[in-house]
Amino acid sequence: MRVEVFADVICPWCGIGHHRLEEARARFDGDVEIVRRSFLLDPFAPIGKVEPVPEMLVKKGYPADQVGAMTERVEEIARSEGIQPYHVRDNRVGSTALAHELAALARSEGKADAAWSALYRAYFGEARSIFDAPSLVRIGEEIGLDAETVRGALDARVYEPEVKRDLLRARELGVRGVPFFVFDERFAVSGAQPVEVLLRAFEHTSRS
């Protein structure tokens, strides 16, 4: 079975969805190939510029007095599933283009799962930057990639076309929000659904 996962590495529900998908895959009695695909929540964000999460949410139209409760709810859900720490409110956001290019490089080296896990862990678990090349080189090293290879690829934007292909794939499928899961190009599940829902999707796909 082949499952495509569209996500952005600064999307808090994507981080939770990543955890739930791995739980469902561990419980499923069958082979599952997961293809990690990029989706930029803000494809026009300038690379290198960051801002606090609350400021971003207010700019998007969320009432300032509700931001705390919104972000705390996500953090509490993560804690309830054993994902902690999980920094949302006190984190920063910016362009994830370079982070996705690192993930694309890792995919070419057979390390896609490791890259996405490392990016989520660095961002949500440790509130580290994933918005600049030096930070991403360190993450690449942590999953066994060669530092000079990562630095050269990011500086030359070698994997930008591959990320754009993922975005085109998302548009073709009508993806509007993430996480978004496509099972064998036949069934789709939108959102960070519970483990049981993803497990049923695995089972339904395997029987169809």
Give the Cα separation of 12 and 192 in Å (integer).
Answer: 10
Predicted pLDDT of residue 92: 98
- Tell me, what amino acid is at 37? R
Q: What is the pLDDT along the chain (208 residues), one digit of tens a residue?
A: 999 999 999 999 999 999 999 999 999 999 999 999 999 999 999 999 999 999 999 999 999 999 999 999 999 999 999 999 999 999 999 999 999 999 999 999 999 999 999 999 999 999 999 999 999 999 999 999 999 999 999 999 999 999 999 999 999 999 999 999 999 999 999 999 999 999 999 999 998 8
Give the Cα separation of 95 and 130 in Å (integer).
Answer: 9
Q: Are residues 175 and 4 in contact, defined by beta-carbon separation less than 8 angstroms? A: no
For residue 183, CA distances in Å to 6, 62, 95 come to 12, 33, 28
For residue 37, report the phi and psi dihedrals to the nearest 5 degrees: -125, 145
- State which residues form the domain around 69: 2-207
Looking up residue 62, the CATH number of its domain turns out to be: 3.40.30.10
Total domains in the chain come to 1
Give the Cα separation of 157 and 98 in Å (integer).
Answer: 8
Predicted pLDDT of residue 161: 98
Q: What is the rounded end-to-end Cα distance, in angstroms, of the chain?
A: 11
Predicted pLDDT of residue 208: 81
CA Rg, the chain, in Å?
17
Predicted pLDDT of residue 179: 98
Q: Are residues 112 and 36 in contact, defined by beta-carbon separation less than 8 angstroms? A: yes
Could you tell me the pTM of the whole model? 0.95
Environment class of 113 (CB within 10 Å of its CB; exposed 0-12, middle 13-18, buried 19+): middle
50-81 in b/e form (b: 16+ CB < 10 A) is beebbebbeeeeeeeeebeebbeebbeebeee
Predicted pLDDT of residue 199: 96
